[in-house]
Amino acid sequence: MIRISAVSYTNTIPFIYGLEHDAIQSEIDLSLDVPSLCAQKLIEDKVDIGLIPVAAILDLPEAHIISDYCIGANGAVNSVFIFSNCPIEKVEYLQLDPQSRSSNNLALVLLQNYWKIQPELVYKAKEYSRSTHPKTAYVQIGDRTFGQVDKHAFVYDLAAEWKKFTGLEFVFAAWVSNKKLEDGFIQNLNKALKFGLDSRLKIFENMEMRKDFDLVDYLMHKIDYKLTESKKEALQLFHQYIKALSI
């Protein structure tokens, strides 16, 4: 039995559908977690595969990107943001998302290399996402951001900002194993994930839609699921920027 941890966000629903409705379900033990816990489980060898934030790949003694698919974006992703009370150039305090790993690092890379500012970083802020301080901003990812864009004075979609900075797509999470797996299983995994993606229109039929966020556009267009060569290039570049961070 192959142990798998996947992110419990809306953007993984097609993947989860594929894993739960394909023959592979008899070969796996699937758990759903927040991104940071997915990574921790893989690092601690509590699972064999994780759909993990790509920043966490750097912490694994052994890491294999095993799938043709990922959680990525080519421009705005609509679920990874810096929300701010002031223009980004004037931010003095940045609250980091306690559920995030890659997106926090993406924010730090952009702050240092693109916006060229060094705000004070706030970890586990007691008033996370609620601070009224005029020069405070915060990173927030996932479903908690749905319907929030119009509620903030200044909004920065981090995938869109990365695209402006580098001209490249971005990979937020990838299917990574902490050991070598059989080629046959990897083929079956890719087949199941593709089945889930191909089933999105069927999934929508039973999904509760929101009035404040376009879930169909999000899952069909904003999330770019194919792990292309250019996304792999972007991933390598992101890792280089993380290693060079001085914050």
Residue 236 has pLDDT above 70, yes or no: yes
The angle that helices 13-20 and 183-198 make with each other, rounded to 10 degrees, is 120
Domains of the chain: 2-72+171-227 (3.40.190.10), 80-166 (3.40.190.10)
- Looking at the predicted structure, is the pLDDT value of residue 167 above 70? yes
Distance CA 190, CA 194 (A): 6
Share the mean pLDDT of the chain.
95
Of the candidates 173, 171, 144, 140, the residue with the CA atom closest to the CA atom of residue 35: 173
Whose CA is closest to 102, among 147, 146, 54?
54
| CA angle centred on 172, ends 96 and 231, rounded to 5° | 140
Reported as a single tens digit per residue, the pLDDT across 39-92 is 899 999 999 999 999 999 999 999 999 999 999 999 999 999 999 999 999 999
Residues 1-36: pLDDT tens digits? 999 999 889 999 999 999 999 999 999 999 999 888
Q: What pLDDT is stored for residue 144 in this prediction? A: 94
Distance of CA 93 to the CA centre of its chain: 23
- State yes or no: pLDDT of 178 exceeds 60: yes
Q: What is the pTM of this model?
A: 0.94
